[in-house]
């Protein structure tokens, strides 16, 4: 054993199934889970609530700093209105700001300090925890991801067209892969898990096998 807490870093594009996998792995290993996308969503939500423009760089940085200073009580990330199409758009704008990413980094670094964690996002294995015990890069075809997101939204009673979701996924991929900081790339040493043809059960089995192989390989 290294004596360091177990950190499982999961990165990948929007709607690839990271969240479900992260939750299930956290449950399996008895670890806390942090969906880091919620941090960017909380910044966006706070700005929208105050009538601020998500493109306002100063307001975005101020909001991110305030969020970190409060040590983020969990209720803030449990708000049901963080997953709306409006917040999707605003979050991707604030997430492109280096100052916002820097302000949210300390919280993310502290999160696993005592008990370890499963953390999912875009830059966990590359920027936040390059030293994570295990890194997974979870992906799926754009078509499969659009279909899943469409099912999820319509299941929650949000009326959207499939084509609209496909276009938004494509746009989000471009933003995730082209911002200057926290860009979505596969981390060095990450295991790729393509869930295109996997149901949630098979995806979990594959992720668990990858994690166990790494833990077993720890010195």
Q: Which residues bind ligand DC (CB under 6 A)?
A: 14, 36-37, 40-41, 91-92, 95, 121-123, 172, 176, 182
Please, which residue, 22 or 191, has the CB nearer to ligand DC?
22
CB of residue 89 vs ligand DC: minimum separation in angstroms?
Answer: 9
What is the Cα–Cα distance from 87 to 43, expressed in whole angstroms? 9
CB of residue 194 vs ligand DC: minimum separation in angstroms?
Answer: 18
What is the Cα–Cα distance from 155 to 43, expressed in whole angstroms? 26
Please, which residue, 40 or 107, has the CB nearer to ligand DC?
40
Please, which residue, 183 or 215, has the CB nearer to ligand DC?
183
User: What element of type H or E holds 137?
Assistant: strand 134-139
Please, which residue, 63 or 92, has the CB nearer to ligand DC?
92
CB of residue 217 vs ligand DC: minimum separation in angstroms?
Answer: 26
Strand order in the sheet with 191-194: 33-35, 117-121, 7-11, 134-139, 191-194
Chain centroid, CA 97 distance in Å = 16
CB of residue 101 vs ligand DC: minimum separation in angstroms?
Answer: 7
What is the Cα–Cα distance from 200 to 181, expressed in whole angstroms? 31
**What single-letter DSSP state applies at residue 129?**
-
């Amino acid at each position: 054993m290294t004596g360091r807490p177990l950190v499982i870093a999961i990165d990948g594009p929007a709607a690839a199934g990271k969240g479900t996998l992260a939750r299930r792995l956290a449950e399996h290993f008895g670890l806390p889970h942090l969906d880091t996308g919620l941090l960017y969503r909380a910044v966006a939500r706070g700005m929208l609530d105050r009538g601020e423009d998500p493109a306002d760089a100063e307001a975005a940085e101020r909001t991110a700093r305030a969020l970190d200073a409060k040590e983020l009580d969990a209720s803030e990330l449990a708000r049901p209105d963080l997953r709306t199409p409006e917040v999707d758009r605003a979050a991707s704008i604030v997430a492109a700001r280096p100052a916002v990413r820097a302000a949210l980094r300390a919280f993310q670094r502290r999160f696993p300090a005592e008990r370890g964690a499963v953390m999912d996002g875009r830059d966990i294995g590359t920027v936040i925890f390059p030293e994570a015990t295990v890194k997974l890069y979870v992906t799926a075809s754009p078509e499969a991801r659009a279909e899943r997101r469409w099912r999820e939204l319509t299941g929650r009673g949000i009326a959207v067209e499939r084509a609209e979701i496909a276009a938004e996924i494509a746009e989000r991929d471009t933003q995730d892969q082209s911002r200057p900081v926290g860009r979505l790339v596969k981390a060095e040493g990450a295991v790729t898990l393509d869930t295109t043809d996997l149901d949630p059960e098979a995806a979990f089995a594959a992720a668990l096998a990858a994690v166990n192989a790494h833990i077993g390989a720890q010195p």
